[in-house]
Structure 1
Amino acid sequence: MGLLEGKVAFITGAARGQGRNHAVRMASEGADIIAVDVCAPVETVAYDTATEADLAETVRQVEALDRRIVASTADIRDLAALRSAVDAGVAELGRLDIVLVNAGIFSSSRLLEMEDDTWSTMIDVNLSGAWRTIRAAAPHVVAGGRGGSIVITSSLAALTANENMAHYSAAKAGLVGLMKVAAKELAADRIRVNSVHPTTVATDMILNDAFYQLFRPDLEKPTREDFEEAGVTLNALPVAAIESDDVTEAIVYLVADSGRYVTGTTLVVDAGASL
């Protein structure tokens, strides 16, 4: 029997990257999945965001494990859309136990050169979107009366300073405050709330020309190899980026019985970068 047998997990940003990885692993441990992603371009973002075909692939991989999945498109800036997605998923699957607040974006700019929409989009997606996700989903976990777990994907950037990403760091640091208050308010309902803080993760949000340029501004058109050469210097362990699996393993620990008394914590998965 899997670690999450009979449970249902709601995952934002589930079409690809860490979100898909979490969904497939949760399904392999016996969970059914409610999955959402925006599946559309997001303003101020320089890389290609997930598509409906990506979300369909997540559905295919979960169903291949003989688990149920209810998937829909929703922008985490739209509380009504999130509520509709969660409500439909719970109506079909019968319960909700786990909420993975995973969806997010990345962009970069010097602090004093940043445009207003670059700042506001980042905060609205990465911080306010997390609040909306919890607001839409947590009432179902409370109503179940069985307790549960919420994990917010933050970043090492919440704990350390990096140039060109004040808006990203501010949003990710704000998630820590949100997590701690939620952990206190939901503790009486036996709902645990934690955040995970990865270093650079090898996903489409990172593996693109705009991110490579951020790491190697000295080069006109840096490659992934150039990025990895620079990235490996930031971590104590000799890796330029960790994999989605590494973050998923930390999340499984938090949402399964192994983390039954862990709440209000910031779990860092950073290859020693914060050292």
Structure 2
Amino acid sequence: MGLLDGKIAVISGAARGQGRAHAIRLAEEGADIIAFDICSDIDTVPYSLATADEFDDTIEQVRKLDRRIVAEQVDARDYDAVAALIDRGARELGGLDIVVANAGITSYYRSEELTPKQWQTVIDVNLTGVWNLSRAGVPHLIDRGGGSIVMISSSSAHVGLQNLNHYSAAKAGMVGLMQSMAVELGPHMIRVNTIHPTTVRTGMAINQATFDLFLPGVGLSAGSAEAEDKAGEAFKGLNSMPIPWIDPVDISNAVLYLASDMGRYVSGTQLRVDAGSAVK
């Protein structure tokens, strides 16, 4: 028996990285999955986003676990498209129990450099996109008599980081959204929580723009082991534990806890999975 047998979860940003790990981990515990990802680049984001081929791989891995999946290329910023997918997935799979608002992007600019478009794009994906998914999921959770909403925030909601004021603002804003929804939805037995990772070893961290920020002037390629080693040393400085980054499954295990009956009375919580970065 899996911890999520008979449950149905929707996950945004599911094509790779954390989103893929969440889909697989929840499927391993018996959940059927509704998944979406934009599967295209965004012009203000300085690294490549997930592809349709990567999304297909996520879908295949879920199916190999003998779980059902409804998947579609959808932009988290498009409320109508998100709601339509959730409605379709709930019809085909039998409802909705778990919402995992994972999709997120970043870019790196100091306050005096950041443009209105760069600011707005990150806010639209990382905060409004989370609201879009959560709002579209709420009626289905109410129909099921309860459920869990898990929002993937960041350690940047708790500590000040340079070059990330738009990202930090969105991730901190997510905390306010979570707390308000936790109060409103508690009477429906719907739990709402945020998870706050430190740097996670995904395409958001392992890319040339990130390396150029942390290793200015070094000129190393993001595809080289030497660059990753040097970047890892820089990232260690963010954490109190002597590690550069954590793996996506570390966050997926926290999602599982909050989505399952292990966390059945946990709501309104900011769960740090941050290698001690917030207390450093």
Q: What's the TM-score bracket when you normalise by the shorter of the two chains?
A: over 0.9
Q: Is the 8 A contact 1:47 1:205 kept in 2?
A: yes
Q: Secondary structure at the match of 2:4?
A: coil
Partner of 2:110: 110
Give the Å deviation of 1:55.
1.0
Is 1:240 matched with 2:244? Answer: yes
Partner of 1:208: 207
Partner of 1:169: 168
TM-score, normalising length: structure 1: 0.98
Q: Which amino acid aligns with 1:44?
A: T
Partner of 1:196: 195
Higher alpha-carbon deviation: 13-22 or 215-224: 215-224
Unaligned runs of 5+ in 2: 222-226
Q: How does 1:14-25 map to 2 (within 5 A)?
A: 14-25=14-25
Distance 1:48 1:11 in 2: 20
Distance 1:132 1:207 in 2: 28
Q: Which amino acid aligns with 1:226?
A: K
Q: Which runs of 4+ in 1 moved over 4 A?
A: none
Partner of 1:81: 81
Q: Secondary structure at the match of 1:112?
A: coil
1:15-62: CA deviation from partner (whole Å, max 9, x where unpaired): 110000000010110000000000111120011111111111111000
Q: Which amino acid aligns with 2:266?
A: V
Q: How does 1:51-200 map to 2 (within 5 A)?
A: 51-145=51-145, 147-200=146-199
Identity %: 51
Partner of 2:37: 37
Give the Å deviation of 1:174.
0.2
Give the Å deviation of 1:221.
3.4
Q: Which amino acid aligns with 1:143?
A: D
1:139-190: CA deviation from partner (whole Å, max 9, x where unpaired): 1111122x10000000000010011110000000000000000101100100
Q: Which amino acid aligns with 1:215?
A: F
Distance 2:233 2:267 in 1: 36
Unaligned runs of 5+ in 1: none
Distance 2:162 2:216 in 1: 12
Q: Is the 8 A contact 1:43 1:121 kept in 2?
A: no
Distance 1:252 1:98 in 2: 10
Distance 1:274 1:79 in 2: 33
Distance 1:111 1:219 in 2: 24
Distance 1:203 1:97 in 2: 27
Distance 1:51 1:86 in 2: 21
Distance 1:202 1:83 in 2: 30
Alpha-carbon RMSD: 0.9
Q: Is the 8 A contact 1:79 1:133 kept in 2?
A: yes
Q: Which amino acid aligns with 2:133?
A: T
Higher alpha-carbon deviation: 220-229 or 194-203: 220-229
Is 1:272 matched with 2:276? Answer: yes
Partner of 2:234: 230
Distance 2:249 2:51 in 1: 22
Q: Is the 8 A contact 1:234 1:273 kept in 2?
A: yes
Distance 1:258 1:270 in 2: 21
Count how many residue pairs are aligned between Structure 1 and Structure 2: 274
TM-score, normalising length: structure 2: 0.96
